[in-house]
Amino acid sequence: MNGVQFTIAGATLTALGSGALWWAEQRLLVVSDLHLGKSSRIARRGGSNLPPYETRDTLIRLENDLNGTNAATIVCLGDSFDDLEAAEAISQADRLWISRLQAGRRWVWIEGNHDPGPVDLGGTHLAELPVAPLTFRHIAQSGKSGEVSGHYHPKVRVQTRLRAISRPAFLFDSDRVILPAFGTYTGGLRSTDAALSDLMRPEARAILTGQTPRMVPMPR
C-alpha cells in the first residue's frame, strides 16, 4: 500500500494517497465526505445539470481501496450522501454496486450534517463509532482524544521553490486526525483557515494526498 504511517492515541494508522485511512491492526478502512448524489441534489434544487458521474467515480476509487486493503470493516465518516433525498435518488445499478462492496464486511455509515438520518442501504447507521482507543465521528470536537473525523475537507498548499502545489490532505496531531474529502465533487478548506488551525495542536502535521502521499508540518 502506498501510504504514510502515523500514530494517535497509541493506534498506528496509514494515510493512503487516495484520501482513505487504513487501520491495519483492525483491518478497518475509513473514508469521509463521499457526497454521493451531489449532482442530483444540485439539479433538484433548480441548479444546472452537472455531469452525473461523481457517484460512479467515487465508488470506483473506493472499490480500488477496498480491493487493495481487503478491509474487514469500512467506516464512512459522514456526508456520505449530499443529502438524504440524494441517497434515495441513487440509481438501482449504483445500489447494487454498493451492496456488492458491502458483501463480507462490516459497513458503518456515520451520520453527517448533510445526511443526519439512516439511509435505505445496507450497513449500520451510527452517530459515532468507538473502537478503542479511537472514536469515529463526523465533526471533530475540541478536547477529545483519539478522534477520527472528516467534515472540513482539509487541503494544504505547499510553496515549493518553483511553484505552489495545493492538494486535499490529512491533518493530524497527537489527539486527532481529520480526513480529506474522498468524494469526487468536493472542494477543500485550506489548513490555514481558523476553523482548522484553532482545532489542531501547534505541532500538527499534514499528509498530502496524491500519487505518493507526503508529510509536511501543517501550514497555518
Contact residues toward another protein (CB under 8 A) are 4-7, 12, 39-40, 43-44, 46-54, 56-57, 91, 152-153, 158-163, 165, 181, 184-190, 193, 203, 205, 208, 210-212, 214-217
CB 118 → another protein: shortest distance, Å? Answer: 23
Give whichever of 40 and 149 is closer to another protein, judged by the CB atom.
40
Backbone angles phi, psi at 64, to 5 degrees: -55, -45
CB 124 → another protein: shortest distance, Å? Answer: 27
Give whichever of 126 and 158 is closer to another protein, judged by the CB atom.
158
Give whichever of 54 and 65 is closer to another protein, judged by the CB atom.
54
Give whichever of 137 and 205 is closer to another protein, judged by the CB atom.
205
CB 66 → another protein: shortest distance, Å? Answer: 20
| CA-to-CA dists, residue 110 to 32, 49, 175, 212, angstroms | 9, 28, 20, 28
Cell of 12: 498506528
CB 5 → another protein: shortest distance, Å? Answer: 5
The amino acid that residue 203 corresponds to is E
CB 123 → another protein: shortest distance, Å? Answer: 24
In a 13 Å sphere around the CA of 145, the CA atoms on its Cβ side amount to 7
